[in-house]
Amino acid sequence: MRIYSVFCLLLLLAASSCDRNIVPKSSSLPVSPPPPPPPPPPEIMGGNPRISSTVINTQAPIRKPNPAVNAIKINIFTDSGTIVVQLFDSTPLHRDNFVKLVKQGFYDSLLFHRVIPQFMIQGGDPSSKYAMPGTGLGNGGADMARISAEFNPSLFHKKGVLAAARDGNPEKASSACQFYLVEGKVQTEEQLNQLELRNGFKYTPEQRAAYTTIGGTPQLDMGYTVFGEVISGLEVIGKIVNVPRDGSNRPLGDVRMRMVIIK
CB distance 72 to 259 below 8 Å = no
pLDDT tops 80 at residue 98:
yes
Name the nearest CA neighbour of 61 among 100, 81, 20, 89. 89
Higher pLDDT, 135 or 37: 135
Q: What is the DSSP letter of 197?
A: H
| Phi then psi dihedrals of residue 112, to 5 deg | -80, 100
Report pLDDT digits (tens) over 34-59.
445 555 666 654 333 233 333 434 34
Report pLDDT digits (tens) over 161-180.
999 999 999 999 999 999 99
DSSP H or E segment with residue 105: none
Whole-angstrom distance, CA of residue 225 vs CA of residue 188:
23
The predicted model gives 103-128 an average pLDDT of 98
pLDDT tops 70 at residue 123:
yes
| Phi then psi dihedrals of residue 259, to 5 deg | -120, 140
The predicted model gives 66-90 an average pLDDT of 89
